[in-house]
Amino acid sequence: MRRKIIAGNWKMNNNLKSTVELISEIINKMDNHLENTDVVVCPPFTSLETAVELTKNSKVRVGAQNMFYEKNGAFTGEVSAEMIKNIGCEYVIIGHSERRTIFGESNEWINKKIKKALEEGLKPIFCIGETLEERQNGTMEQVLKTQVFEGLSGVTESQMANIIIAYEPVWAIGTGVTASPEQADEAHKYVRNLVENLYNSSVAQELIIQYGGSMKPENAKELLSKPNIDGGLIGGASLKADSFLSIINASN
Ligand code: PGA
């Protein structure tokens, strides 16, 4: 049985003080008997080291929200995979739709980032998803296929054990509109098939595919009970301990 991963993508929210408050509240209230769920928080870069320190003796793991694919050098404003790994992070979100649309990240860049993250021992949370227009004009499957094939180009079968895919339909992110459990499960199944075509069925069966896009306490249980949905990447609802915890509890 695949484990579930519930990850909070804080985006550009929380300073150091509110990071300490939110993480402390999550740790204090979290059920420590979660057998099949891993919990991850992804604060902004400025809070990562503090988050790692705070979560040391807990079940909460820490991830970054982005990285650059070069090792070091003249890349003003960027942070490398090695730097993220060095302070104790385990995960890194790569290719989030906000990175793709606002910051112009291409599948090629995302692929380079994924390979670099893996090389440094980080677990990429690789985000994919179609826009509303792509869903409506019937190109959704082609879009997902291109994102998956180009994003995973050159990633080996054994490296696949360290990758998580987050299916996040762009029209559901931050909008309050959630994909129905059936729509999400169908897309996850399609993505799993793509991965089976690229690798084999055991890689596809072991792959964790999270859903992201307005997941909240009210819809988490139904989404997470679907056979192909292995967790969530949660934005808005991860910014309050109680709603994040209730999603975590819904995963068990
Ligand atoms: P949301 O964001 O839960 O606020 O829709 C999800 C995400 O962008 O990862």
Domains in the chain (CATH in brackets) are 4-251 (3.20.20.70)
Which of 50, 39, 29 shows the shortest CA–CA distance to 7?
39
Which of 226, 245, 230 shows the shortest CA–CA distance to 167?
230
Separation of CA 17 and ligand 1 centre (Å): 23
Residue bearing the CA closest to ligand 1, atom 3 = 235
Question: pTM of this prediction?
Answer: 0.97
Separation of CA 73 and ligand 1 centre (Å): 32
Which of 52, 45, 58 shows the shortest CA–CA distance to 10?
45
Pocket around ligand 1 at a 6 A CB cut-off: 9, 168, 173-174, 212-215, 233-237
Q: How far is CA 27 from the centre of its chain?
A: 20
pLDDT bin (cut points 50, 70, 90) of residue 33 is confident
3 close to 36: Cβ distance less than 8 angstroms: yes
Query: pLDDT tens for residues 198-245?
Result: 999 999 999 999 999 999 999 999 999 999 999 999 999 999 999 999
Query: pLDDT tens for residues 35-94?
Result: 899 999 999 999 999 999 999 999 999 999 999 999 999 999 999 999 999 999 999 999
